[in-house]
Structure 1
Protein backbone atom coordinates (compact mmCIF):
# COMPACT_ATOMS: atom_id res chain seq x y z
CA UNK A 1 0.00 0.00 0.00
CA UNK A 2 2.77 2.47 0.87
CA UNK A 3 4.14 2.26 -2.68
CA UNK A 4 0.90 3.75 -4.06
CA UNK A 5 0.93 6.79 -1.78
CA UNK A 6 4.62 7.43 -1.01
CA UNK A 7 4.98 10.01 -3.81
CA UNK A 8 2.32 12.13 -2.08
CA UNK A 9 4.05 12.10 1.34
CA UNK A 10 7.02 13.95 2.82
CA UNK A 11 10.00 11.63 2.34
CA UNK A 12 10.86 11.35 6.05
CA UNK A 13 7.29 10.33 6.91
CA UNK A 14 7.06 7.27 4.66
CA UNK A 15 8.51 4.77 7.15
CA UNK A 16 6.20 5.97 9.95
CA UNK A 17 3.16 5.81 7.66
CA UNK A 18 4.18 2.30 6.59
CA UNK A 19 4.27 1.18 10.24
CA UNK A 20 0.74 2.52 10.79
CA UNK A 21 -0.57 0.84 7.64
CA UNK A 22 0.99 -2.49 8.63
CA UNK A 23 -0.88 -2.29 11.93
CA UNK A 24 -4.16 -1.02 10.46
CA UNK A 25 -5.11 -2.72 7.22
CA UNK A 26 -7.25 -0.36 5.18
CA UNK A 27 -7.64 0.43 1.49
CA UNK A 28 -6.41 3.89 0.55
CA UNK A 29 -7.42 5.48 -2.74
CA UNK A 30 -6.00 8.70 -4.12
CA UNK A 31 -8.74 10.51 -6.04
CA UNK A 32 -9.19 13.65 -8.12
CA UNK A 33 -9.73 16.93 -6.28
CA UNK A 34 -13.07 17.42 -4.56
CA UNK A 35 -13.96 20.94 -3.49
CA UNK A 36 -16.00 19.86 -0.48
CA UNK A 37 -13.37 17.75 1.30
CA UNK A 38 -9.71 16.70 1.40
CA UNK A 39 -10.45 13.09 2.28
CA UNK A 40 -12.94 10.70 3.81
CA UNK A 41 -13.35 7.40 5.62
CA UNK A 42 -16.05 4.91 4.63
CA UNK A 43 -17.29 1.60 5.94
CA UNK A 44 -19.01 -0.54 3.31
CA UNK A 45 -21.92 -2.95 3.94
CA UNK A 46 -19.59 -5.94 3.34
CA UNK A 47 -17.49 -4.84 6.35
CA UNK A 48 -14.55 -3.44 4.35
CA UNK A 49 -13.12 0.06 4.88
CA UNK A 50 -11.72 2.70 2.57
CA UNK A 51 -9.98 6.04 2.86
CA UNK A 52 -9.94 8.45 -0.07
CA UNK A 53 -7.62 11.45 -0.29
CA UNK A 54 -7.44 14.18 -2.93
CA UNK A 55 -4.45 14.01 -5.26
CA UNK A 56 -4.27 17.81 -5.37
CA UNK A 57 -3.03 18.24 -1.78
CA UNK A 58 0.56 19.22 -1.09
CA UNK A 59 2.59 16.56 0.72
CA UNK A 60 2.11 18.10 4.18
CA UNK A 61 -1.66 18.47 3.83
CA UNK A 62 -1.84 14.97 2.33
CA UNK A 63 -0.07 13.48 5.38
CA UNK A 64 -2.28 15.39 7.81
CA UNK A 65 -5.43 14.29 5.95
CA UNK A 66 -4.27 10.68 5.79
CA UNK A 67 -3.66 10.51 9.54
CA UNK A 68 -6.97 12.31 10.19
CA UNK A 69 -8.81 9.58 8.24
CA UNK A 70 -6.81 6.72 9.77
CA UNK A 71 -7.84 8.11 13.17
CA UNK A 72 -11.47 7.62 12.09
CA UNK A 73 -10.72 3.99 11.23
CA UNK A 74 -8.94 3.37 14.56
CA UNK A 75 -11.75 5.04 16.48
CA UNK A 76 -14.40 3.01 14.68
CA UNK A 77 -12.54 -0.24 15.41
CA UNK A 78 -12.33 0.67 19.11
CA UNK A 79 -15.93 1.80 19.54
CA UNK A 80 -18.50 1.87 16.78
CA UNK A 81 -20.91 4.26 18.53
CA UNK A 82 -19.05 7.52 19.06
CA UNK A 83 -19.25 10.96 17.48
CA UNK A 84 -17.19 11.18 14.26
CA UNK A 85 -15.00 13.99 15.66
CA UNK A 86 -15.60 13.40 19.33
CA UNK A 87 -13.10 13.01 22.16
CA UNK A 88 -12.16 9.44 21.17
CA UNK A 89 -11.28 10.52 17.63
CA UNK A 90 -9.35 13.55 18.91
CA UNK A 91 -7.25 11.35 21.20
CA UNK A 92 -6.52 8.86 18.40
CA UNK A 93 -5.68 11.62 15.94
CA UNK A 94 -3.32 13.29 18.43
CA UNK A 95 -1.66 9.97 19.25
CA UNK A 96 -1.20 9.05 15.58
CA UNK A 97 0.06 12.52 14.56
CA UNK A 98 2.55 12.98 17.40
CA UNK A 99 5.46 11.12 15.70
CA UNK A 100 5.05 13.32 12.61
CA UNK A 101 5.26 16.65 14.45
CA UNK A 102 8.97 17.14 13.95
CA UNK A 103 11.20 19.36 11.78
CA UNK A 104 12.46 16.46 9.68
CA UNK A 105 8.90 15.96 8.40
CA UNK A 106 7.05 19.29 8.64
CA UNK A 107 8.68 22.65 7.81
CA UNK A 108 9.50 24.94 10.72
CA UNK A 109 6.99 27.47 9.33
CA UNK A 110 4.16 24.95 9.78
CA UNK A 111 5.11 23.23 13.06
CA UNK A 112 3.86 25.85 15.57
CA UNK A 113 0.46 26.07 13.85
CA UNK A 114 0.21 22.29 13.54
CA UNK A 115 1.08 21.82 17.22
CA UNK A 116 -1.50 24.42 18.23
CA UNK A 117 -4.18 22.79 16.04
CA UNK A 118 -3.47 19.37 17.55
CA UNK A 119 -4.22 20.62 21.07
CA UNK A 120 -7.91 20.40 20.18
CA UNK A 121 -8.30 19.24 16.55
CA UNK A 122 -11.49 20.12 14.72
CA UNK A 123 -13.41 18.16 12.08
CA UNK A 124 -11.61 20.06 9.33
CA UNK A 125 -8.10 21.46 9.22
CA UNK A 126 -9.70 24.23 7.17
CA UNK A 127 -11.33 25.54 10.35
CA UNK A 128 -7.88 26.64 11.55
CA UNK A 129 -7.10 29.68 9.40
CA UNK A 130 -3.46 30.00 10.50
CA UNK A 131 -2.66 26.32 9.85
CA UNK A 132 -4.43 26.44 6.48
CA UNK A 133 -2.43 29.52 5.48
CA UNK A 134 0.86 27.92 6.62
CA UNK A 135 0.12 24.75 4.63
CA UNK A 136 -0.99 26.71 1.55
CA UNK A 137 2.53 28.10 1.17
CA UNK A 138 3.50 24.67 -0.20
CA UNK A 139 0.69 24.43 -2.76
CA UNK A 140 1.29 24.88 -6.45
CA UNK A 141 0.52 28.46 -7.47
CA UNK A 142 -3.22 28.65 -8.18
CA UNK A 143 -3.77 32.37 -8.71
CA UNK A 144 -6.26 32.37 -5.82
CA UNK A 145 -6.19 34.16 -2.49
CA UNK A 146 -7.76 33.42 0.86
CA UNK A 147 -10.68 35.73 1.47
CA UNK A 148 -9.22 36.82 4.82
CA UNK A 149 -6.25 38.30 2.91
CA UNK A 150 -8.52 40.76 1.05
CA UNK A 151 -9.42 44.21 2.31
CA UNK A 152 -13.01 44.96 3.25
CA UNK A 153 -14.79 46.21 0.13
CA UNK A 154 -12.65 44.13 -2.24
CA UNK A 155 -14.45 42.54 -5.18
CA UNK A 156 -13.77 38.88 -5.94
CA UNK A 157 -15.09 35.89 -7.87
CA UNK A 158 -16.17 32.58 -6.38
CA UNK A 159 -17.89 29.74 -8.25
CA UNK A 160 -18.73 31.95 -11.22
CA UNK A 161 -20.30 34.76 -9.18
CA UNK A 162 -19.00 38.18 -8.14
CA UNK A 163 -18.96 39.26 -4.49
CA UNK A 164 -17.91 42.25 -2.42
CA UNK A 165 -16.20 41.52 0.89
CA UNK A 166 -17.97 42.88 3.94
CA UNK A 167 -17.43 42.73 7.68
CA UNK A 168 -15.86 39.84 9.53
CA UNK A 169 -18.02 38.18 12.12
CA UNK A 170 -16.52 35.89 14.75
CA UNK A 171 -15.56 33.08 12.34
CA UNK A 172 -17.22 34.03 9.02
CA UNK A 173 -17.06 36.93 6.59
CA UNK A 174 -20.19 38.61 5.21
CA UNK A 175 -20.03 39.06 1.45
CA UNK A 176 -22.49 40.73 -0.89
CA UNK A 177 -23.30 38.79 -4.08
CA UNK A 178 -23.42 41.71 -6.52
CA UNK A 179 -26.09 40.50 -8.98
CA UNK A 180 -28.69 39.57 -6.34
CA UNK A 181 -27.66 41.91 -3.48
CA UNK A 182 -27.89 38.94 -1.11
CA UNK A 183 -25.47 38.50 1.79
CA UNK A 184 -23.56 35.20 2.04
CA UNK A 185 -21.26 34.02 4.81
CA UNK A 186 -17.83 32.76 3.78
CA UNK A 187 -15.32 30.72 5.74
CA UNK A 188 -12.27 32.92 6.36
CA UNK A 189 -10.00 30.63 4.37
CA UNK A 190 -12.22 30.26 1.30
CA UNK A 191 -10.02 30.56 -1.78
CA UNK A 192 -11.26 33.23 -4.19
CA UNK A 193 -10.15 34.92 -7.41
CA UNK A 194 -9.55 38.66 -7.37
Structure 2
Protein backbone atom coordinates (compact mmCIF):
# COMPACT_ATOMS: atom_id res chain seq x y z
CA UNK A 1 0.00 0.00 0.00
CA UNK A 2 1.11 3.56 -0.70
CA UNK A 3 3.13 4.92 2.24
CA UNK A 4 1.28 8.25 2.30
CA UNK A 5 -2.09 6.45 2.50
CA UNK A 6 -0.89 4.41 5.48
CA UNK A 7 0.48 7.48 7.26
CA UNK A 8 -2.79 9.34 6.72
CA UNK A 9 -4.45 6.84 9.07
CA UNK A 10 -2.27 8.08 11.94
CA UNK A 11 -1.22 11.64 11.04
CA UNK A 12 -3.12 14.76 10.01
CA UNK A 13 -3.46 14.02 6.25
CA UNK A 14 -1.63 17.22 5.18
CA UNK A 15 1.45 16.07 7.14
CA UNK A 16 1.67 12.59 5.62
CA UNK A 17 3.47 13.49 2.33
CA UNK A 18 6.35 15.26 4.10
CA UNK A 19 6.82 12.47 6.67
CA UNK A 20 6.82 9.97 3.80
CA UNK A 21 9.58 11.97 2.07
CA UNK A 22 11.61 12.05 5.30
CA UNK A 23 11.37 8.25 5.59
CA UNK A 24 12.76 7.91 2.05
CA UNK A 25 15.35 10.68 2.31
CA UNK A 26 16.83 9.43 5.57
CA UNK A 27 16.50 5.77 4.51
CA UNK A 28 14.68 5.09 7.76
CA UNK A 29 12.76 2.03 8.88
CA UNK A 30 9.54 3.54 10.24
CA UNK A 31 7.42 1.28 12.43
CA UNK A 32 3.97 1.92 13.85
CA UNK A 33 4.27 0.22 17.22
CA UNK A 34 2.06 -1.23 19.93
CA UNK A 35 1.24 0.95 22.92
CA UNK A 36 4.14 1.51 25.33
CA UNK A 37 3.21 3.15 28.62
CA UNK A 38 6.73 4.44 29.19
CA UNK A 39 7.14 6.28 25.89
CA UNK A 40 5.32 7.54 22.80
CA UNK A 41 8.12 6.86 20.34
CA UNK A 42 11.68 5.68 19.93
CA UNK A 43 14.73 6.31 17.73
CA UNK A 44 17.57 3.84 17.24
CA UNK A 45 20.78 4.78 15.42
CA UNK A 46 22.39 2.51 12.82
CA UNK A 47 23.91 -0.57 14.43
CA UNK A 48 25.07 -4.05 13.42
CA UNK A 49 24.12 -3.61 9.78
CA UNK A 50 20.73 -2.05 10.51
CA UNK A 51 19.92 1.51 9.46
CA UNK A 52 17.96 4.26 11.20
CA UNK A 53 14.87 2.96 12.99
CA UNK A 54 11.94 4.96 14.35
CA UNK A 55 8.84 3.61 16.05
CA UNK A 56 5.74 5.53 17.16
CA UNK A 57 2.83 4.18 19.20
CA UNK A 58 -0.16 3.36 17.00
CA UNK A 59 -2.80 4.62 19.46
CA UNK A 60 -1.74 8.29 19.65
CA UNK A 61 -4.14 10.89 18.31
CA UNK A 62 -2.98 12.43 14.99
CA UNK A 63 -1.43 15.54 16.56
CA UNK A 64 0.43 13.57 19.25
CA UNK A 65 1.58 11.12 16.58
CA UNK A 66 2.97 13.98 14.49
CA UNK A 67 4.75 15.72 17.40
CA UNK A 68 6.31 12.39 18.42
CA UNK A 69 7.35 11.60 14.85
CA UNK A 70 9.09 14.97 14.42
CA UNK A 71 10.77 14.49 17.82
CA UNK A 72 12.26 11.16 16.69
CA UNK A 73 13.31 12.43 13.25
CA UNK A 74 15.13 15.27 15.00
CA UNK A 75 17.12 12.58 16.85
CA UNK A 76 17.94 10.92 13.53
CA UNK A 77 19.03 14.17 11.90
CA UNK A 78 21.16 15.07 14.92
CA UNK A 79 22.85 11.66 14.85
CA UNK A 80 23.67 12.11 11.15
CA UNK A 81 25.28 15.47 11.88
CA UNK A 82 27.09 14.71 15.14
CA UNK A 83 27.00 10.93 15.77
CA UNK A 84 27.58 10.28 19.49
CA UNK A 85 29.15 13.69 20.13
CA UNK A 86 25.80 15.39 20.75
CA UNK A 87 23.76 14.89 23.91
CA UNK A 88 20.43 13.09 23.28
CA UNK A 89 18.37 16.22 24.02
CA UNK A 90 21.09 18.84 23.86
CA UNK A 91 21.26 22.10 21.91
CA UNK A 92 21.83 20.34 18.57
CA UNK A 93 18.69 18.24 18.93
CA UNK A 94 16.63 21.21 20.13
CA UNK A 95 17.64 23.28 17.11
CA UNK A 96 16.80 20.44 14.72
CA UNK A 97 13.45 19.84 16.40
CA UNK A 98 12.53 23.50 16.04
CA UNK A 99 13.52 23.56 12.35
CA UNK A 100 11.77 20.30 11.52
CA UNK A 101 8.54 21.41 13.22
CA UNK A 102 8.41 24.64 11.20
CA UNK A 103 6.87 23.21 7.97
CA UNK A 104 3.89 21.92 9.92
CA UNK A 105 3.37 25.35 11.47
CA UNK A 106 3.49 26.88 8.00
CA UNK A 107 0.83 24.40 6.80
CA UNK A 108 -1.30 25.45 9.79
CA UNK A 109 -1.90 21.81 10.70
CA UNK A 110 -2.32 22.21 14.46
CA UNK A 111 -5.35 23.67 16.28
CA UNK A 112 -4.60 26.98 17.98
CA UNK A 113 -4.29 25.54 21.50
CA UNK A 114 -1.81 22.85 20.46
CA UNK A 115 0.17 25.31 18.33
CA UNK A 116 0.46 27.64 21.32
CA UNK A 117 1.57 24.77 23.61
CA UNK A 118 4.13 23.57 21.06
CA UNK A 119 5.50 27.11 20.65
CA UNK A 120 6.03 27.34 24.41
CA UNK A 121 7.55 23.86 24.46
CA UNK A 122 9.92 24.72 21.61
CA UNK A 123 11.39 27.57 23.64
CA UNK A 124 13.21 24.82 25.52
CA UNK A 125 12.12 21.32 24.43
CA UNK A 126 12.36 18.64 27.08
CA UNK A 127 13.34 15.01 26.67
CA UNK A 128 9.74 13.99 26.11
CA UNK A 129 6.52 15.72 25.16
CA UNK A 130 5.03 13.82 28.14
CA UNK A 131 7.30 15.77 30.48
CA UNK A 132 5.85 19.12 29.37
CA UNK A 133 2.48 18.91 31.11
CA UNK A 134 0.99 21.88 29.26
CA UNK A 135 1.75 20.31 25.87
CA UNK A 136 0.71 16.86 27.06
CA UNK A 137 -2.66 18.12 28.30
CA UNK A 138 -3.25 20.06 25.08
CA UNK A 139 -2.54 16.95 22.99
CA UNK A 140 -4.74 14.76 25.18
CA UNK A 141 -7.81 16.92 24.52
CA UNK A 142 -7.86 15.36 21.06
CA UNK A 143 -7.71 11.76 22.27
CA UNK A 144 -10.64 9.42 21.77
CA UNK A 145 -12.72 9.58 24.97
CA UNK A 146 -11.44 7.15 27.60
CA UNK A 147 -13.48 4.55 29.44
CA UNK A 148 -15.41 6.02 32.36
CA UNK A 149 -13.24 4.33 34.99
CA UNK A 150 -9.93 5.69 33.61
CA UNK A 151 -8.60 8.77 35.42
CA UNK A 152 -5.39 10.73 35.72
CA UNK A 153 -3.56 10.62 39.04
CA UNK A 154 -3.81 14.38 39.55
CA UNK A 155 -7.62 14.21 39.46
CA UNK A 156 -7.88 11.55 42.18
CA UNK A 157 -8.66 12.53 45.78
CA UNK A 158 -5.96 11.96 48.38
CA UNK A 159 -5.72 8.32 49.58
CA UNK A 160 -7.60 6.94 46.54
CA UNK A 161 -6.77 3.29 45.74
CA UNK A 162 -6.05 2.71 42.06
CA UNK A 163 -4.56 0.07 39.80
CA UNK A 164 -2.42 -0.02 36.67
CA UNK A 165 -2.94 -2.08 33.52
CA UNK A 166 -0.54 -4.70 34.88
CA UNK A 167 -2.79 -5.19 37.91
CA UNK A 168 -0.56 -3.56 40.55
CA UNK A 169 -2.52 -1.58 43.16
CA UNK A 170 -1.45 1.72 44.72
CA UNK A 171 -2.70 4.38 47.15
CA UNK A 172 -2.27 8.04 46.24
CA UNK A 173 -0.36 10.08 48.81
CA UNK A 174 1.09 13.62 48.88
CA UNK A 175 2.43 15.63 45.96
CA UNK A 176 6.22 15.92 45.86
CA UNK A 177 7.21 18.81 43.58
CA UNK A 178 5.83 17.81 40.17
CA UNK A 179 4.91 14.19 40.93
CA UNK A 180 2.70 12.30 43.34
CA UNK A 181 3.97 9.82 45.89
CA UNK A 182 1.99 6.58 45.65
CA UNK A 183 2.39 3.47 47.78
CA UNK A 184 2.17 0.01 46.20
CA UNK A 185 -0.06 -1.86 48.64
CA UNK A 186 1.52 -5.30 48.22
CA UNK A 187 5.13 -4.18 48.80
CA UNK A 188 4.69 -0.86 50.69
CA UNK A 189 7.22 0.64 48.27
CA UNK A 190 6.81 4.29 47.30
CA UNK A 191 6.70 5.29 43.63
CA UNK A 192 6.49 8.71 42.00
CA UNK A 193 3.71 9.12 39.44
CA UNK A 194 3.28 11.75 36.76
CA UNK A 195 0.15 13.87 37.33
CA UNK A 196 -1.17 12.73 33.94
CA UNK A 197 -0.56 8.99 34.38
CA UNK A 198 -3.77 7.14 33.51
CA UNK A 199 -5.07 4.68 36.12
CA UNK A 200 -8.21 2.81 37.08
CA UNK A 201 -9.90 3.65 40.38
CA UNK A 202 -10.42 0.74 42.76
CA UNK A 203 -11.69 2.61 45.82
CA UNK A 204 -12.05 6.29 46.61
CA UNK A 205 -11.57 7.62 50.12
The match for 1:152 is 158
Cα offset, 1:165, TM superposition? 1.3
Deviation at 1:122, TM superposition (A): 1.1
Which of 19, 42, 53 in structure 2 is aligned with 1:50? 53
Question: What are the Cα deviations for residues 62-102 of structure 1, in whole angstroms up to 9, with x where unaligned?
Answer: 10111111101100110112111111111101110122236
The 10-residue stretch of structure 1 (64-73 or 164-173) with the greater mean CA deviation from structure 2: 164-173
Q: Does structure 1 retain, via aligned residues, the 8 Å contact 2:23–2:29?
A: no
2:61, 2:143 within 8 Å by CA — same for their partners in 1? yes
| Count of equivalent residues | 194
**Shift, 1:54, TM fit:** 1.2
State the Cα distance separating 1:140 from its structure 2 match: 2.1
Structure 1: runs of 5+ lacking an equivalent:
none
Are the aligned partners of 2:159 and 2:173 in contact in 1 as well (CA < 8 Å)? Answer: yes
Q: Deviation at 1:17?
A: 2.8
Does residue 41 of structure 2 align to residue 39 of structure 1?
A: yes
Uncovered stretches (5+) of structure 2, i.e. residues with no partner? none
1:123 partner SS = coil
Aligned counterpart, 1:68: 71
Q: Which of 120, 124, 148 in structure 2 is aligned with 1:120?
A: 124
Cα offsets for 1:155-190 (capped at 9, x unmatched): 221231222211111122111223333322112221
- Select between 17-26 and 91-100 the one with higher mean Cα deviation: 17-26
Is the 1:12–1:104 Cα contact (8 Å) retained in structure 2? no
Partner in structure 2 of residue 186 of structure 1: 193
